[in-house]
Amino acid sequence: MNADKVTEKLNILADAAKYDVSCASSGSKRQNHNKGLGNASNGICHSYTEDGRCVSLLKILLTNHCIFDCAYCVSRKSNDIKRAAFTVQEVVDLTINFYRRNYIEGLFLSSGIFKNADYTMERLVLIAKKLRTEHNFNGYIHLKSIPGASDELMREAGLYADRLSVNLEMPTEEGLKLLAPDKNRQDMIDPMNFLKKEIIQNTEEKKLFKKAPMFAPAGQSTQVIIGATQEDDQQILYMANHFYRNYNLKRVYYSGYVPVLSDSRLPALNTTVPMVRENRLYQADWLMRFYGFKVNEIVDSRQPLLDLDIDPKLSWAIRNMQAFPIDINKADLQMILRVPGIGVESANKIVKARNFAKLGWDQLKKIGVAINRARYFITCKSTDFERRDLTGTKIKQFILAESHSKYLKNTQTQLSMF
Protein backbone atom coordinates (compact mmCIF):
# COMPACT_ATOMS: atom_id res chain seq x y z
CA MET A 1 0.00 0.00 0.00
CA ASN A 2 1.28 3.42 -0.92
CA ALA A 3 0.56 5.32 2.28
CA ASP A 4 0.82 8.81 0.83
CA LYS A 5 -1.45 8.10 -2.08
CA VAL A 6 -4.06 6.41 0.08
CA THR A 7 -3.90 9.26 2.58
CA GLU A 8 -4.59 11.78 -0.12
CA LYS A 9 -7.50 9.78 -1.49
CA LEU A 10 -8.88 9.30 1.98
CA ASN A 11 -8.81 13.02 2.65
CA ILE A 12 -10.63 13.83 -0.57
CA LEU A 13 -13.17 11.05 -0.40
CA ALA A 14 -13.98 11.38 3.30
CA ASP A 15 -14.38 15.10 2.88
CA ALA A 16 -16.80 14.57 -0.01
CA ALA A 17 -18.83 12.02 1.95
CA LYS A 18 -19.22 13.97 5.16
CA TYR A 19 -22.38 15.83 4.19
CA ASP A 20 -24.31 12.62 4.43
CA VAL A 21 -25.25 12.86 8.08
CA SER A 22 -26.35 9.32 8.67
CA CYS A 23 -23.84 7.42 10.74
CA ALA A 24 -26.05 4.93 12.49
CA SER A 25 -24.68 1.45 12.87
CA SER A 26 -27.36 -0.09 15.02
CA GLY A 27 -30.36 -2.21 14.28
CA SER A 28 -28.54 -5.12 12.67
CA LYS A 29 -28.30 -8.44 14.43
CA ARG A 30 -25.36 -9.79 12.52
CA GLN A 31 -23.41 -12.13 14.79
CA ASN A 32 -19.82 -13.12 14.60
CA HIS A 33 -19.81 -16.55 13.02
CA ASN A 34 -17.06 -19.08 12.38
CA LYS A 35 -14.71 -17.11 14.59
CA GLY A 36 -14.55 -14.36 12.02
CA LEU A 37 -14.04 -10.67 12.48
CA GLY A 38 -16.63 -8.48 14.06
CA ASN A 39 -20.33 -8.31 14.67
CA ALA A 40 -22.95 -5.65 14.16
CA SER A 41 -25.43 -5.15 16.87
CA ASN A 42 -25.14 -2.28 19.24
CA GLY A 43 -24.13 0.73 17.22
CA ILE A 44 -21.21 2.36 19.00
CA CYS A 45 -19.92 5.89 18.42
CA HIS A 46 -16.16 5.42 18.49
CA SER A 47 -15.39 9.07 18.32
CA TYR A 48 -17.02 12.45 17.85
CA THR A 49 -16.07 15.10 15.35
CA GLU A 50 -15.39 18.60 16.57
CA ASP A 51 -18.91 19.49 15.49
CA GLY A 52 -20.19 16.91 17.95
CA ARG A 53 -21.36 14.27 15.48
CA CYS A 54 -20.95 10.59 16.10
CA VAL A 55 -18.16 8.80 14.22
CA SER A 56 -19.24 5.23 13.97
CA LEU A 57 -18.46 4.17 10.43
CA LEU A 58 -15.73 4.74 7.90
CA LYS A 59 -17.83 7.00 5.72
CA ILE A 60 -16.29 7.52 2.31
CA LEU A 61 -17.07 7.78 -1.35
CA LEU A 62 -15.61 5.19 -3.66
CA THR A 63 -15.05 8.10 -6.03
CA ASN A 64 -16.08 11.73 -6.32
CA HIS A 65 -16.04 11.61 -10.11
CA CYS A 66 -19.62 12.20 -11.14
CA ILE A 67 -21.52 12.58 -14.38
CA PHE A 68 -24.34 14.46 -12.65
CA ASP A 69 -24.56 18.08 -11.72
CA CYS A 70 -26.65 18.41 -8.57
CA ALA A 71 -26.44 22.01 -7.40
CA TYR A 72 -26.14 21.27 -3.66
CA CYS A 73 -23.33 18.74 -4.01
CA VAL A 74 -19.58 19.40 -3.81
CA SER A 75 -18.91 16.51 -6.17
CA ARG A 76 -21.07 17.85 -8.97
CA LYS A 77 -19.61 17.64 -12.46
CA SER A 78 -19.23 21.39 -12.95
CA ASN A 79 -17.41 21.97 -9.68
CA ASP A 80 -13.68 22.47 -10.09
CA ILE A 81 -12.24 20.22 -7.40
CA LYS A 82 -9.67 17.48 -7.03
CA ARG A 83 -11.03 14.11 -8.02
CA ALA A 84 -9.97 10.73 -6.71
CA ALA A 85 -11.05 7.11 -6.75
CA PHE A 86 -10.24 4.25 -4.44
CA THR A 87 -9.56 0.80 -5.74
CA VAL A 88 -11.75 -1.97 -4.40
CA GLN A 89 -8.81 -3.41 -2.46
CA GLU A 90 -7.93 -0.09 -0.85
CA VAL A 91 -11.41 0.25 0.62
CA VAL A 92 -11.31 -3.33 1.86
CA ASP A 93 -7.90 -2.83 3.54
CA LEU A 94 -8.91 0.43 5.19
CA THR A 95 -12.10 -1.07 6.54
CA ILE A 96 -10.45 -4.18 7.94
CA ASN A 97 -7.51 -2.34 9.48
CA PHE A 98 -9.65 0.36 11.05
CA TYR A 99 -12.06 -2.23 12.34
CA ARG A 100 -9.35 -4.39 13.92
CA ARG A 101 -8.13 -1.37 15.89
CA ASN A 102 -11.64 -0.67 17.17
CA TYR A 103 -11.85 2.67 15.36
CA ILE A 104 -15.13 1.89 13.62
CA GLU A 105 -18.24 -0.27 13.55
CA GLY A 106 -17.97 -0.77 9.83
CA LEU A 107 -18.19 0.86 6.45
CA PHE A 108 -20.59 3.38 4.95
CA LEU A 109 -19.86 3.45 1.27
CA SER A 110 -21.35 5.83 -1.21
CA SER A 111 -20.15 7.08 -4.56
CA GLY A 112 -20.41 9.65 -7.27
CA ILE A 113 -21.87 8.18 -10.42
CA PHE A 114 -19.23 7.27 -12.96
CA LYS A 115 -20.25 5.85 -16.35
CA ASN A 116 -23.71 4.80 -15.22
CA ALA A 117 -25.73 3.63 -12.25
CA ASP A 118 -25.14 -0.10 -12.69
CA TYR A 119 -21.42 0.23 -13.25
CA THR A 120 -21.11 2.22 -10.02
CA MET A 121 -23.38 -0.02 -8.00
CA GLU A 122 -21.50 -3.10 -9.16
CA ARG A 123 -18.29 -1.80 -7.56
CA LEU A 124 -19.99 -0.96 -4.30
CA VAL A 125 -21.45 -4.45 -4.16
CA LEU A 126 -18.10 -6.01 -5.00
CA ILE A 127 -16.48 -4.35 -1.98
CA ALA A 128 -19.20 -5.58 0.35
CA LYS A 129 -18.95 -9.05 -1.12
CA LYS A 130 -15.19 -9.20 -0.67
CA LEU A 131 -15.46 -8.08 2.94
CA ARG A 132 -18.08 -10.68 3.73
CA THR A 133 -16.78 -13.63 1.79
CA GLU A 134 -12.99 -13.22 1.70
CA HIS A 135 -12.46 -11.61 5.08
CA ASN A 136 -15.29 -13.19 7.03
CA PHE A 137 -16.19 -9.67 8.10
CA ASN A 138 -19.35 -9.40 10.17
CA GLY A 139 -19.15 -5.70 10.98
CA TYR A 140 -21.68 -3.20 9.77
CA ILE A 141 -21.96 -2.31 6.10
CA HIS A 142 -24.15 0.49 4.83
CA LEU A 143 -24.27 0.84 1.06
CA LYS A 144 -25.77 3.72 -0.76
CA SER A 145 -28.04 2.45 -3.49
CA ILE A 146 -27.38 4.32 -6.67
CA PRO A 147 -30.70 5.50 -8.12
CA GLY A 148 -31.44 3.63 -11.30
CA ALA A 149 -29.35 0.53 -10.48
CA SER A 150 -30.84 -2.78 -11.59
CA ASP A 151 -32.98 -4.95 -9.29
CA GLU A 152 -30.42 -7.73 -9.63
CA LEU A 153 -27.66 -5.58 -8.16
CA MET A 154 -29.94 -4.27 -5.46
CA ARG A 155 -30.76 -7.81 -4.45
CA GLU A 156 -27.09 -8.73 -4.26
CA ALA A 157 -26.38 -5.58 -2.27
CA GLY A 158 -29.03 -6.60 0.24
CA LEU A 159 -27.35 -9.95 0.77
CA TYR A 160 -24.09 -8.35 1.92
CA ALA A 161 -25.12 -5.03 3.42
CA ASP A 162 -26.82 -4.38 6.73
CA ARG A 163 -28.43 -1.23 5.54
CA LEU A 164 -29.19 0.27 2.18
CA SER A 165 -30.26 3.80 1.57
CA VAL A 166 -31.37 5.96 -1.28
CA ASN A 167 -31.26 9.63 -0.53
CA LEU A 168 -34.35 11.54 -1.55
CA GLU A 169 -32.11 14.63 -1.32
CA MET A 170 -34.94 17.16 -1.46
CA PRO A 171 -38.16 17.01 0.53
CA THR A 172 -40.30 17.48 -2.58
CA GLU A 173 -40.19 16.59 -6.23
CA GLU A 174 -40.19 20.27 -7.20
CA GLY A 175 -37.15 20.92 -5.03
CA LEU A 176 -35.34 18.04 -6.67
CA LYS A 177 -36.21 19.24 -10.17
CA LEU A 178 -34.86 22.64 -9.36
CA LEU A 179 -31.54 21.56 -7.90
CA ALA A 180 -30.84 18.16 -9.41
CA PRO A 181 -32.15 18.28 -12.95
CA ASP A 182 -30.39 14.98 -13.86
CA LYS A 183 -32.21 13.12 -11.14
CA ASN A 184 -35.69 11.86 -11.11
CA ARG A 185 -37.64 11.11 -7.98
CA GLN A 186 -39.13 7.95 -9.39
CA ASP A 187 -35.61 6.50 -9.77
CA MET A 188 -35.22 6.89 -6.02
CA ILE A 189 -38.60 5.54 -5.08
CA ASP A 190 -38.34 2.44 -7.26
CA PRO A 191 -35.38 0.94 -5.38
CA MET A 192 -37.05 1.82 -2.07
CA ASN A 193 -40.10 -0.09 -3.16
CA PHE A 194 -38.01 -2.98 -4.36
CA LEU A 195 -36.07 -3.13 -1.10
CA LYS A 196 -39.19 -2.89 0.99
CA LYS A 197 -40.68 -5.89 -0.81
CA GLU A 198 -37.46 -7.89 -0.56
CA ILE A 199 -37.11 -7.12 3.13
CA ILE A 200 -40.68 -8.19 3.86
CA GLN A 201 -40.26 -11.34 1.82
CA ASN A 202 -37.01 -12.14 3.60
CA THR A 203 -38.66 -11.70 6.99
CA GLU A 204 -41.28 -14.22 5.93
CA GLU A 205 -38.64 -16.66 4.72
CA LYS A 206 -36.75 -16.28 7.97
CA LYS A 207 -39.84 -17.34 9.85
CA LEU A 208 -39.98 -20.53 7.83
CA PHE A 209 -36.30 -21.32 7.44
CA LYS A 210 -33.97 -20.11 10.10
CA LYS A 211 -31.05 -20.49 7.73
CA ALA A 212 -32.46 -18.19 5.05
CA PRO A 213 -29.77 -15.60 4.31
CA MET A 214 -30.14 -12.18 5.91
CA PHE A 215 -31.29 -9.40 3.68
CA ALA A 216 -30.42 -5.86 4.74
CA PRO A 217 -31.20 -6.67 8.40
CA ALA A 218 -30.91 -3.04 9.47
CA GLY A 219 -33.42 -1.95 6.84
CA GLN A 220 -33.31 1.17 4.74
CA SER A 221 -33.03 4.86 5.49
CA THR A 222 -32.98 8.09 3.55
CA GLN A 223 -31.77 11.65 3.87
CA VAL A 224 -33.22 14.99 2.87
CA ILE A 225 -31.37 18.27 2.79
CA ILE A 226 -33.23 21.05 4.52
CA GLY A 227 -32.91 24.75 4.04
CA ALA A 228 -31.60 24.54 0.47
CA THR A 229 -35.09 24.84 -0.96
CA GLN A 230 -38.24 26.55 0.28
CA GLU A 231 -40.20 23.64 1.79
CA ASP A 232 -41.74 24.30 5.21
CA ASP A 233 -41.60 21.92 8.16
CA GLN A 234 -45.09 20.64 7.49
CA GLN A 235 -44.08 19.48 4.01
CA ILE A 236 -40.90 17.90 5.36
CA LEU A 237 -42.54 16.05 8.24
CA TYR A 238 -45.50 14.87 6.16
CA MET A 239 -43.01 13.54 3.64
CA ALA A 240 -41.08 11.74 6.40
CA ASN A 241 -44.30 10.32 7.82
CA HIS A 242 -45.29 9.09 4.37
CA PHE A 243 -42.00 7.26 3.92
CA TYR A 244 -42.02 5.78 7.42
CA ARG A 245 -45.48 4.41 6.82
CA ASN A 246 -45.34 3.30 3.23
CA TYR A 247 -41.75 2.19 2.81
CA ASN A 248 -40.99 0.91 6.31
CA LEU A 249 -37.97 3.19 6.53
CA LYS A 250 -35.89 2.84 9.67
CA ARG A 251 -34.76 6.43 9.69
CA VAL A 252 -35.18 9.67 7.85
CA TYR A 253 -32.19 11.97 8.28
CA TYR A 254 -32.45 15.73 8.03
CA SER A 255 -29.30 17.45 6.95
CA GLY A 256 -29.15 21.21 7.39
CA TYR A 257 -27.75 22.62 4.18
CA VAL A 258 -24.10 23.66 4.47
CA PRO A 259 -23.49 26.34 1.83
CA VAL A 260 -20.56 25.04 -0.16
CA LEU A 261 -21.24 26.42 -3.62
CA SER A 262 -22.46 29.65 -5.02
CA ASP A 263 -25.42 29.18 -7.31
CA SER A 264 -28.39 31.45 -7.89
CA ARG A 265 -30.74 28.57 -7.01
CA LEU A 266 -29.15 28.11 -3.59
CA PRO A 267 -28.91 30.11 -0.36
CA ALA A 268 -25.94 32.49 -0.40
CA LEU A 269 -22.55 31.25 0.74
CA ASN A 270 -22.62 33.20 4.00
CA THR A 271 -25.91 31.66 5.14
CA THR A 272 -25.56 29.87 8.45
CA VAL A 273 -26.35 26.18 8.69
CA PRO A 274 -29.94 25.84 10.01
CA MET A 275 -28.88 23.79 13.01
CA VAL A 276 -31.67 24.73 15.39
CA ARG A 277 -34.28 23.95 12.76
CA GLU A 278 -32.58 20.66 12.00
CA ASN A 279 -32.62 19.80 15.69
CA ARG A 280 -36.33 20.64 15.94
CA LEU A 281 -37.03 18.35 13.00
CA TYR A 282 -35.20 15.51 14.71
CA GLN A 283 -37.17 16.16 17.88
CA ALA A 284 -40.41 16.09 15.90
CA ASP A 285 -39.27 12.88 14.23
CA TRP A 286 -38.67 11.33 17.68
CA LEU A 287 -42.12 12.38 18.81
CA MET A 288 -43.58 10.50 15.87
CA ARG A 289 -41.46 7.41 16.32
CA PHE A 290 -41.18 7.00 20.08
CA TYR A 291 -43.76 9.20 21.78
CA GLY A 292 -46.90 8.22 19.92
CA PHE A 293 -47.52 11.62 18.30
CA LYS A 294 -49.29 11.85 14.97
CA VAL A 295 -47.67 14.12 12.44
CA ASN A 296 -50.68 16.45 12.34
CA GLU A 297 -50.39 17.02 16.07
CA ILE A 298 -46.94 18.46 15.51
CA VAL A 299 -47.47 20.58 12.41
CA ASP A 300 -50.53 21.43 10.35
CA SER A 301 -51.63 24.13 7.95
CA ARG A 302 -52.16 26.59 10.81
CA GLN A 303 -48.74 25.78 12.24
CA PRO A 304 -46.60 24.84 9.25
CA LEU A 305 -43.35 25.75 10.98
CA LEU A 306 -41.83 24.27 14.10
CA ASP A 307 -41.27 26.75 16.89
CA LEU A 308 -37.54 27.50 17.04
CA ASP A 309 -37.70 28.83 20.62
CA ILE A 310 -39.11 25.73 22.21
CA ASP A 311 -39.13 22.05 21.42
CA PRO A 312 -42.13 20.55 19.59
CA LYS A 313 -43.35 18.64 22.63
CA LEU A 314 -43.64 21.75 24.77
CA SER A 315 -45.14 23.50 21.80
CA TRP A 316 -47.83 20.81 21.51
CA ALA A 317 -48.53 20.93 25.25
CA ILE A 318 -49.14 24.67 25.40
CA ARG A 319 -51.44 24.46 22.42
CA ASN A 320 -53.39 21.72 24.19
CA MET A 321 -53.75 22.99 27.74
CA GLN A 322 -57.19 21.34 27.96
CA ALA A 323 -55.37 17.98 28.27
CA PHE A 324 -53.57 19.07 31.46
CA PRO A 325 -52.86 18.85 34.31
CA ILE A 326 -52.54 15.10 34.60
CA ASP A 327 -52.07 13.13 37.82
CA ILE A 328 -48.67 11.50 37.61
CA ASN A 329 -49.79 8.72 39.93
CA LYS A 330 -52.72 7.71 37.74
CA ALA A 331 -52.25 8.80 34.13
CA ASP A 332 -51.46 6.34 31.32
CA LEU A 333 -47.87 5.97 30.20
CA GLN A 334 -48.86 7.40 26.82
CA MET A 335 -50.02 10.59 28.48
CA ILE A 336 -47.03 10.85 30.80
CA LEU A 337 -44.80 10.67 27.74
CA ARG A 338 -46.51 13.79 26.48
CA VAL A 339 -45.56 15.89 29.48
CA PRO A 340 -42.78 18.41 28.73
CA GLY A 341 -39.76 17.65 30.88
CA ILE A 342 -40.40 13.90 31.06
CA GLY A 343 -38.45 11.63 28.73
CA VAL A 344 -39.00 7.97 27.87
CA GLU A 345 -36.73 6.68 30.61
CA SER A 346 -38.27 8.78 33.40
CA ALA A 347 -41.77 7.95 32.20
CA ASN A 348 -41.03 4.24 32.45
CA LYS A 349 -39.54 4.65 35.91
CA ILE A 350 -42.59 6.59 37.07
CA VAL A 351 -45.09 3.93 36.06
CA LYS A 352 -42.99 1.26 37.75
CA ALA A 353 -42.27 3.19 40.93
CA ARG A 354 -45.85 4.31 41.51
CA ASN A 355 -46.91 0.68 41.97
CA PHE A 356 -45.06 0.81 45.30
CA ALA A 357 -46.07 4.20 46.62
CA LYS A 358 -47.40 7.48 45.32
CA LEU A 359 -44.73 9.82 44.06
CA GLY A 360 -44.06 13.39 45.14
CA TRP A 361 -41.96 16.21 43.65
CA ASP A 362 -38.79 15.11 45.36
CA GLN A 363 -38.92 11.65 43.95
CA LEU A 364 -39.90 12.88 40.50
CA LYS A 365 -36.90 15.13 40.52
CA LYS A 366 -34.60 12.31 41.50
CA ILE A 367 -36.07 10.07 38.85
CA GLY A 368 -34.92 12.65 36.33
CA VAL A 369 -37.99 14.77 35.58
CA ALA A 370 -37.22 18.40 34.67
CA ILE A 371 -39.55 19.86 37.27
CA ASN A 372 -39.23 23.45 36.07
CA ARG A 373 -41.00 22.42 32.87
CA ALA A 374 -43.20 19.57 34.02
CA ARG A 375 -44.70 21.45 37.00
CA TYR A 376 -47.17 23.34 34.81
CA PHE A 377 -48.65 20.14 33.46
CA ILE A 378 -48.84 17.64 36.32
CA THR A 379 -50.02 17.01 39.86
CA CYS A 380 -48.53 14.45 42.21
CA LYS A 381 -48.58 13.41 45.86
CA SER A 382 -48.32 16.95 47.14
CA THR A 383 -50.76 19.74 47.76
CA ASP A 384 -48.25 22.06 46.23
CA PHE A 385 -49.05 22.38 42.55
CA GLU A 386 -49.61 25.08 40.00
CA ARG A 387 -52.99 26.63 40.91
CA ARG A 388 -53.00 29.60 38.63
CA ASP A 389 -54.98 29.10 35.46
CA LEU A 390 -52.10 29.94 33.18
CA THR A 391 -52.43 30.23 29.44
CA GLY A 392 -50.06 28.38 27.18
CA THR A 393 -48.40 31.62 26.14
CA LYS A 394 -47.71 32.54 29.76
CA ILE A 395 -46.18 29.16 30.46
CA LYS A 396 -43.95 29.50 27.45
CA GLN A 397 -42.81 32.88 28.76
CA PHE A 398 -42.05 31.47 32.20
CA ILE A 399 -40.14 28.52 30.87
CA LEU A 400 -38.20 30.65 28.43
CA ALA A 401 -37.40 33.24 31.08
CA GLU A 402 -36.06 30.56 33.34
CA SER A 403 -33.85 29.03 30.68
CA HIS A 404 -33.20 32.34 28.98
CA SER A 405 -29.58 32.84 29.80
CA LYS A 406 -28.91 29.20 29.08
CA TYR A 407 -30.85 29.38 25.85
CA LEU A 408 -28.97 32.40 24.59
CA LYS A 409 -25.69 30.68 25.05
CA ASN A 410 -26.97 27.47 23.60
CA THR A 411 -28.96 28.33 20.53
CA GLN A 412 -26.28 26.95 18.30
CA THR A 413 -25.37 24.06 20.47
CA GLN A 414 -28.64 22.73 21.77
CA LEU A 415 -28.84 19.24 20.44
CA SER A 416 -30.29 17.34 23.33
CA MET A 417 -33.64 15.68 22.98
CA PHE A 418 -36.20 16.69 25.62
Q: Is residue 3 involved in binding another protein (CB under 8 A)?
A: yes
Stretch that binds ligand SF4, among 65-73, 132-140, 299-307, 395-403 (CB under 6 A): 65-73
Q: Residue 184: which residues within 8 A CB-CB, separation 6 or more?
A: 147, 176
Closest CB to another protein among 139 and 219? 139
Q: Which residues of 281-315 are buried (b: 16+ CB within 10 A; e: fewer)?
A: bbbbbbbbeebebebebbbeeebeebbeebbbbbb
Query: Could you give the CA distance from residue 363 to residue 350 in angstroms, rounded to a whole number?
Result: 9
Residue type present at position 177: K
Judged by CB under 8 A, which of 189, 212, 261, 353 binds another protein? 353
Judged by CB under 8 A, which of 29, 47, 152, 296 binds another protein? 47
Residue 320, binding choice from ligand SF4, another protein, none, Cβ under 5 to 8 Å by partner class: none
Judged by CB under 6 A, which of 12, 40, 62, 66 binds ligand SF4? 66
Q: Is residue 52 involved in binding another protein (CB under 8 A)?
A: yes
Shortest Cβ distance from residue 150 to another protein (Å)? 31
Judged by CB under 8 A, which of 208, 294, 356, 387 binds another protein? 356
Judged by CB under 8 A, which of 26, 32, 184, 235 binds another protein? 32
Segment (H or E) for 224: strand 220-226
Residue 47, binding choice from another protein, ligand SF4, none, Cβ under 5 to 8 Å by partner class: another protein
Closest CB to another protein among 100 and 394? 100
DSSP output for 39-64? -EEE----EE-TTS-EE-EEEEESB-
Q: Is residue 70 involved in binding ligand SF4 (CB under 6 A)?
A: yes
Q: Is residue 132 involved in binding another protein (CB under 8 A)?
A: no
The count of residues in the chain is 418
Shortest Cβ distance from residue 343 to ligand SF4 (Å)? 36
Judged by CB under 8 A, which of 30, 59, 183, 251 binds another protein? 59
Judged by CB under 8 A, which of 113, 284, 299, 359 binds another protein? 359
Closest CB to another protein among 223 and 315? 223
Q: Where are the beta strands (DSSP E) in 16-154?
A: 26-30, 40-42, 47-48, 54-55, 57-61, 106-110, 140-144
Residue 112, binding choice from ligand SF4, another protein, none, Cβ under 5 to 8 Å by partner class: ligand SF4
- The dihedrals phi and psi of 256, each to the nearest 5 degrees, come to -60, 130
Query: Could you give the CA distance from residue 172 to residue 228 in angstroms, rounded to a whole number?
Result: 12
Query: Could you give the CA distance from residue 231 to residue 260 in angstroms, rounded to a whole number?
Result: 20
Stretch that binds ligand SF4, among 69-77, 132-140, 228-236, 314-322 (CB under 6 A): 69-77
Q: Is residue 26 involved in binding another protein (CB under 8 A)?
A: no
Query: Could you give the CA distance from residue 133 to residue 299 in angstroms, rounded to a whole number?
Result: 47
Closest CB to ligand SF4 among 117 and 395? 117
Q: Is residue 112 involved in binding ligand SF4 (CB under 6 A)?
A: yes
Region 292-331 residues binding another protein, contact defined as CB under 8 A: none
Residue 66, binding choice from ligand SF4, another protein, none, Cβ under 5 to 8 Å by partner class: ligand SF4
Q: Tally helices (H) and strands (E) across the chain.
A: 16, 12
Residue 60 bridge partners (DSSP): 109
Q: Is residue 117 involved in binding ligand SF4 (CB under 6 A)?
A: no
Closest CB to another protein among 329 and 372? 329
Q: Is residue 128 involved in binding another protein (CB under 8 A)?
A: no
Q: Residue 329: which residues within 8 A CB-CB, separation 6 or more?
A: 354, 358, 359, 380, 381
Shortest Cβ distance from residue 73 to ligand SF4 (Å)? 3
Pick from 4, 123, 142: nearest CA to 63: 123
Query: Could you give the CA distance from residue 370 to residue 368 in angstroms, rounded to a whole number?
Result: 6
Query: Could you give the CA distance from residue 32 to residue 249 in angstroms, rounded to a whole number?
Result: 26
Region 263-282 residues binding another protein, contact defined as CB under 8 A: 272-273, 275
User: For ligand SF4, what does the binding mask look like between residues 148 and 187, x meaning CB under 6 A?
Assistant: --------------------------------x-------
Q: Is residue 40 within 8 Å of residue 137, measured between CB atoms?
A: no
Query: Could you give the CA distance from residue 20 to residue 150 in angstroms, rounded to a whole number?
Result: 23
Which residues of the chain form contacts with ligand SF4 (CB under 6 A)?
66, 68, 70, 73, 75-76, 112-113, 180
